[in-house]
Amino acid sequence: MKNKGLLLVVSGPSGAGKGTVVGGVIATSDKFKLSISVTTRNPRDGEVDGVNYHFKTMSEFELMIHNNQLLEYMEVYGNFYGTNKLFVEEMLDNGYDVILEIDTKGAMAIKKLMPDAVMIFITPKTLDILTQRLVGRATETKEQIDRRLSESARELSFADQYDYIVINEELDKCIDQVANIIRSEHCRTKHCSQIIVDFSK
């Protein structure tokens, strides 16, 4: 029997650098697969369909909901975001570890549906550092920054719902740490039932 892969849920406040961390982790092993979210929002400059998101129209998205093709979905500021159920299940069945990079709302929904999911929260060391990073983005208006700050505070309030909290102080260390956590989780007794069965024969 092929061992099933692990489902990893990665969240963190805006400004934590979780996208970069997840990209780095994916690059460390061909056993890791990134789940690409489905969304109804318009692509931003440089975003590629099937790479950053699967971009869908509202009616395509509604059809996916209707056909039970989404593991979870939700609305954020008028746009819908969801997780492709078939992709996640097929990859897990084939022994890949699947990483979902989603916000805390989506993460809590996944945790309820799949209690064995490994929940990882990525964050800068202090709130001050996070604020500096968000304010330092010169491309954004004051309102956009304020909105991000209040979103971040909201995201941070969910940190204690996660299995792991990883500080992103140095990118390489943070990537190593997350990859370590995945390797360690493969040794957790609850994911090793096959071995216990082997010994009882």
Q: Which is nearer to a copy of itself, 109 or 129 (CB)?
A: 129
Pick the binder of a copy of itself from 61, 127, 143, 169 (CB under 8 A): 127
Q: Does 154 bind a copy of itself (CB under 8 A)?
A: no
164 near a copy of itself, rule: CB under 8 A = yes
80 counts as binding a copy of itself under rule CB under 8 A: no
> Which of 26, 92, 135, 156 is close enough to bind a copy of itself by CB under 8 A?
156
Backbone φ and ψ for 111, nearest 5 degrees, come out as -60, -35
Q: How crowded is the C-beta side of 125, counted as CA atoms within 13 Å?
A: 4
Interaction between residue 167 and a copy of itself (CB under 8 A): yes
Give the separation between CA 96 and CA 181, rounded to whole angstroms.
Answer: 15
Q: Binding residue for a copy of itself (CB under 8 A) from 30, 45, 143, 160? A: 160
- Decide: 105 and 154 in contact? Cβ < 8 Å: no
Residue 2 as a binder of a copy of itself (CB under 8 A): the answer is no
Q: List Cα–Cα distances, 41 to 81, 104, 154, in angstroms.
A: 8, 19, 22
Instruction: Report phi then psi at 58, rounded to 5.
Output: -60, -40
Cα separation, 74 vs 102, whole angstroms: 11
* Residue 170: CB minimum distance to a copy of itself, A: 14
* Residue numbers at the binding site for a copy of itself (CB under 8 A): 121, 123, 125-127, 156, 159-160, 162-167, 177, 180-181, 183-185, 187-189, 192, 195-196, 198-199, 201
